[in-house]
Amino acid sequence: MRLFIDTGSVAEVEEIAAWGVLSGATTNPSLLAKEEGDPGDAIKRICELVDGDVSAEVVSRDVDSMVAEGRALRTLHENVIVKVPFSAAGLEATRILVSEGHKVNMTLVFSATQALLTAEAGASYISCFMGRLDDISINSADVVREIVETLRGGRDGFYTAQVLAASMRHPEHVVTAARLGCEVATVPGKVLKQMLNHPLTSAGIDKFEADWKSRPEFAQWLQGLVQAQTTHA
Ligand code: G3P
């Protein structure tokens, strides 16, 4: 499973892209509305930073306006994927955009039936929101499992749409998405940072450091080795 970052914050992408674990990003109107500055500049900068697909969302509800916004968002950067909210109009807009060569991420998909329609319309990504399902006491893992099984079993592998797990509220959502076979999870910066943590890792690093410091001559030896390598480089 690939990891995308789910954010509207350029600063957050700058920080986390440096880890080397991001394959793309997703934005949405709510995330962009939290940030200062021009949303187009933010989307372009995020595209430069992650070097992968970056979803930017249309906000209109009628087909013509969705298509017009999608075409316009695509002019921002070649890596922009048009994010379209699920609806009958959204499916129609998706089919039109895809026929013109634009890639679509259909969002707000909450069931296997919606996922099937999304795949048939030609979307590249199907965004299923796990956290929002759990919020209303529907088991998100059950829904994601059904979506993955439905698409992978259907039409002899005809479907190429990738299941993108979104609304990741905690690290366990990310692990569940991977175990269920989602191709992508889009994860907020806060949750990506939570994924770093394990008490045994920090305790282990502290112990390695303390033990090494107990032998000052070893520290000198390593410093010399580094200096020799730097001199020869
Ligand atoms: O990508 C969609 C995601 O950002 C929604 O997350 O936490 O607002 O449900 P949330």
Question: Mean pLDDT across the stretch 137-148?
Answer: 97
Atom 4 (ligand 1) nearest CA: 167
Which among 207, 203, 216, 184 is positioned nearest to 4, based on CA atoms?
Answer: 184
Give Cβ neighbours of residue 200 (< 8 Å, ≥ 6 apart).
Answer: none
* Residue 186, ligand 1, Cβ within 6 A: yes
**pLDDT for the residue numbered 131:** 98
Percent of the chain past pLDDT 90, that is, above it, reads 94
Cα–Cα dist 43/74, whole Å: 11
Measured CA to CA, the distance from residue 4 to residue 53 in angstroms comes to 9
Atom of ligand 1 nearest to the CA of 169: 7
Is residue 159 over pLDDT 90?
A: no
What DSSP element (H or E) covers 106? strand 104-109
Q: Work out the pLDDT band at 84, boundaries 50, 70, 90.
A: very high
For the chain, the first-to-last Cα distance in angstroms comes to: 37
- What distance lies between CA 210 and its chain's CA centroid? 38
CB of 110 within 6 A of ligand 1: the answer is: no
Burial of 90 (0-12, 13-18, 19+ CB in 10 A): buried
207 is annotated as an active-site residue: no
* pLDDT at 125 (0 to 100): 98
- For ligand 1, say whether the CB of 26 is within 6 Å of any of its atoms: yes
Looking at residue 154, its pLDDT comes to 61
Q: What is the DSSP letter of 111?
A: S
Distance CA 77, CA 23 (A): 16
Our answer on whether the CB atom of 167 is closer than 6 Å to any ligand 1 atom is yes
- Residue 156 scores a pLDDT above 70: no
Tally Cβ neighbours within 10 Å of residue 3. 23
Q: CB of 159 within 8 A of CB of 194?
A: no
Report the amino acid identity of residue 80.
V
> What pTM value is reported for the model?
0.94
**pLDDT score, position 233:** 77
Q: Which atom of ligand 1 is nearest to the CA of 132?
A: 9
- The pLDDT-based confidence of 137 (bands split at 50, 70, 90) is very high
Q: Give 19's pLDDT tier (boundaries 50, 70, 90).
A: very high
Catalytic residue among 83, 190, 207, 213: 83
DSSP 168: -
pLDDT band at 32 (very low <50, low <70, confident <90, very high): very high
When pLDDT is cut at 50, 70 and 90, the band that residue 232 belongs to is confident
- ∠ CA 133-136-138 to the nearest 5 degrees? 55
Amino acid at 114: Q
93 or 160: which carries more pLDDT confidence?
93
Residue 157 has pLDDT above 70, yes or no: no
